[in-house]
Amino acid sequence: MSESLSENARALLAYIKEHPGLTQTDVIEHLGMHPSQVVTAIMELEENALIVKHMDIIDYFTTIRETYYLA
């Protein structure tokens, strides 16, 4: 299945494997991807059931932090 993934999705999958629980901001900072590339890669990995998103409510003002893990 990974052969059919985009280069960005493969890079993101490898990074999540090494750094579970990362955020989109982490990916942007460490992999140097543009935010739109990160969103596209995440969607691709979620559609292929390779990662799962965990959402934490940080405070009463409903600030939500999304973190990603291998499925």
pLDDT at 63: 67
Q: pTM, whole model, 2 decimals? A: 0.80
> How would you write the pLDDT of the chain (71 residues) with one tens digit per residue?
556 999 999 999 999 999 998 889 999 999 999 999 999 999 999 999 999 988 877 776 766 678 788 87
User: Domain 2-70 has what CATH class?
Assistant: mainly alpha
What per-residue confidence (pLDDT) applies to 47? 94
Give the helix, strand, coil percentages of the chain, each rounded to 5.
50, 20, 30
